[in-house]
Chain A
Amino acid sequence: MASDGVAVLPAARLRLNGAWVVPPLGILAALFFYPLALIIQQSVTTAGGLPDFGSYARVLAGPLFANALLHTLEIALLATTGCLALGFTMALVLTFVPFPGARALSRLIDTFIALPTFLIALALTFIYGSAGIANMSIMQLTGAEEPPIDFLYTVAGVVLAEVTVYTPFVMRPLLAAFSLIETAQIEVASSLGAGAWRIIRRVILPAALPALLAGGSLCLLLTVNEFGIVFFIGAKGVITLPLLVYGKAIQEDDYTAACVIAVVNIALSLSLFLLYRVMVARVDQGQRGA
């Protein structure tokens, strides 16, 4: 019974035959690949159903698309920068400046993730809208005729709403990263003569870099594709790619144009996602050391 000395572990996998792969692939195809293929097909088909590869040149060369692309990128970059700055500051305070209720506050901020995005836009309208609390109070106090606060219906309003909604997406990974920093590192840095700024710059920020990259990339992805907030605020002249897709498809019945823009939007999202993966992988590699 010498062979009994060598234990053979059963393979740690279910012994199923290849047929089991079919249902999930089928569902994926029906729900994801087929509609995606339809969009791509529609983008190169005329309304009459004939192939038309000129649609891309026509739509992408138009001023509407350029304007929408620019607004999309502008809003996404501004909002992401705002989320990173606000998220970093808030996570820093919540972790390193303990105060009573800090834990409850961070839970509360977490719940923002559960809220529908347009709700924040609606709330901001109540506060900063032309008939909102802020404007009405100032008009009553000063007797002004026109609402003095009018940033809400501009790019700034959209960015403010997106920062409010998406900051928790940066804070979560940051809070997790901060909780892993040894208190002793901060204390030793302090004993070596480093003030708060140097400690943040040289000790905390490098430790938070992967979380900042992950959170920032996620924010960029979400804000590039944000529809509800931009639509709800309805800022004059602020059209983004998702909004343009909506306009072309629903308001103008121009499905070909809508699909062309949608394809560009998808390509943009996928490139951002790729960038995110590369960044995270590079940071991981850097941390493991060559």
Chain B
Amino acid sequence: MDASGIGFTGVTVAYKGAVALDNLDLDVAPGEIMAIIGPSGCGKTTALRAVAGFVQPTRGRIRIGATDVTDLPPYARDIGMVVQNYALFPHMRVAENVAFGLRARRAPDSLVAERVRDCLVMVGMEAYADRYPRQLSGGQQQRVAIARALAIRPRVLLLDEPLSALDAQIRRNMLGELARLHRDLPHLTVLYVTHDQTEALTLADRIAIMRGGRLIANGTSQMLYRAPPNRFAAEFLGRANLLAVRHEQTDGRFARVRLGDTVLTAMAPFSELAGEVLLCLRPHDIFLAPVSVQPANTLHATVTDVQWLGDQHSVALELAGQVLRLVSTPLRDPPPPGAVVAVHFAAEDASIIPEGTG
């Protein structure tokens, strides 16, 4: 089966004058898992529903593969969809639920039986074919929902917060299974909407971050995490320390910035840096340094709070009126609040964000 990508071109969705999706341009490559993340009301679900055909764009076009599907009804779009509350048909047994799409396409009985069995095996639910949905746990219901979506061999799979209704342990397991499923079906293009950045980082090849109906950032998971293009992306995807610094000079991949009297070096993934910029430091990339050794990129800060979280220590620091938080493996001898400590970081682990964006 040929893989099909998804393309949004200038897609705007407005309900009664309120813009839910604002001029979205986004391409999902064939066989890719793209996660759309953002806070509630950011437009991520609207984008997914526009691909499914449940909302009609006010402007713009949507493409699946080479087909412009903007004006096609949902049943003609060849999509598989999995939603938060599973939406299994309660009066049908598991096997009938999985067969639903094939029956709607008038597939011959032999094909239906074979495909239903294959899909249930794929999600590990073959022993439950004769059960009713109400006899299954949440995680099992979601597996059936995934099997039902895959049974029609859809061109794209749309996942709308598929793990949000599950508890933490099952969610972790399901994440692993979704990743395995995609390894088994490498041609399947997946659009994954979630508010959970961990799910996005674990599963997605690329991540699109949205806010207020607009696309704020879009790139590979690694790139967005290591070099966020703006403040919102940095803060939404993982935790970040954003220190206000002054740009002095860019030299190839690195930039020199000044924080008070201290000159620091960090990655400069974006050109046109000038004046006030932000230094993005992930909490686990900062290390407490012995005062005797002073490597490059060292800052002196006052400890304001120390928390022990079992497998790690979280230390809050204050320097020149700014807050800096670091996490480390458990410290044998944590500094007391009020102590002045030296911390340092590697230039490769820090990046500069143009100030004022996002």
- Give the B-binding residues of A (Cβ under 8 A): 182, 184-185, 187-195, 198, 202-203, 206-207, 287, 289
Cross-chain contact of B87 among A187, A194, A202 (Cβ < 8 A): A187
Q: How far is the CB of B39 from chain A (nearest CB, A)?
A: 22
Main secondary structure of the interface of A (DSSP, over half): helix
Which residues of B have CB within 8 Å of A203?
Answer: 89
Which residues of A have CB within 8 Å of B73?
Answer: 190
Once the chains bind, are A287 and B83 in contact (CB under 8 Å)? no
Q: How far is the CB of B3 from chain A (nearest CB, A)?
A: 19
Which residues of A have CB within 8 Å of B148?
Answer: 188, 192
Query: Given the known A-B contacts A189-B100, A193-B104, A194-B75, are A207 and B90 also in contact in the complex, defined by CB atoms under 8 Å?
Result: yes
Once the chains bind, are A289 and B100 in contact (CB under 8 Å)? no
Closest to B87 in A: A184
Closest to A194 in B: B104
Cβ-based interface call for B180 (8 A): no
Once the chains bind, are B132 and A193 in contact (CB under 8 Å)? no
Cβ-based interface call for B16 (8 A): no
Cβ-based interface call for B74 (8 A): yes
Cross-chain contact of B152 among A190, A192, A206 (Cβ < 8 A): A192
Which residues of B have CB within 8 Å of A191?
Answer: 52-53, 74-75, 77, 79-81, 158
Q: How far is the CB of B62 from chain A (nearest CB, A)?
A: 14
Once the chains bind, are A187 and B54 in contact (CB under 8 Å)? yes
Cβ-based interface call for B38 (8 A): no
Which residues of B have CB within 8 Å of A193?
Answer: 75-76, 78, 101, 104-105, 152
Which residues of B have CB within 8 Å of A206?
Answer: 89, 91
Cβ-based interface call for B135 (8 A): yes
Closest to A191 in B: B81
Which residues of A have CB within 8 Å of B84?
Answer: 184
Cβ-based interface call for B253 (8 A): no
Complex: A182 Cα to B89 Cα, angstroms: 10
Once the chains bind, are B74 and A185 in contact (CB under 8 Å)? no
Q: How far is the CB of A197 from chain B (nearest CB, A)?
A: 10
- What sequence of 0s and 1s flags, for each residue 97-119 of chain B, a beta carbon within 8 Å of any chain A beta carbon? 00011001100000000000000
Between A and B, 18 residue pairs with Cβ closer than 8 Å are A184-B83, A184-B84, A184-B87, A185-B87, A187-B81, A187-B83, A188-B83, A189-B104, A190-B75, A191-B158, A192-B80, A192-B101, A192-B149, A192-B152, A193-B76, A193-B78, A193-B105, A195-B75
Which residues of A have CB within 8 Å of B81?
Answer: 187-188, 191-192
Which residues of B have CB within 8 Å of A198?
Answer: 104
Complex: A187 Cα to B91 Cα, angstroms: 17
Interface residues of B in 58-82 (CB under 8 A from A): 73-81
Cross-chain contact of A202 among B76, B89, B105 (Cβ < 8 A): B89
Q: How far is the CB of A78 from chain B (nearest CB, A)?
A: 29
Cβ-based interface call for B134 (8 A): yes
Which residues of B have CB within 8 Å of A207?
Answer: 90-91
Q: How far is the CB of A211 from chain B (nearest CB, A)?
A: 13
Which residues of B have CB within 8 Å of A187?
Answer: 52, 54, 74, 81, 83, 87
Q: How far is the CB of B185 from chain A (nearest CB, A)?
A: 17
Closest to B96 in A: A202
Complex: A255 Cα to B88 Cα, angstroms: 59
Q: How far is the CB of A286 from chain B (nearest CB, A)?
A: 8
Once the chains bind, are A192 and B104 in contact (CB under 8 Å)? yes
Which residues of B have CB within 8 Å of A185?
Answer: 87-89
Which residues of B have CB within 8 Å of A194?
Answer: 75, 100-101, 104
Cβ-based interface call for B197 (8 A): no
Complex: A195 Cα to B103 Cα, angstroms: 12
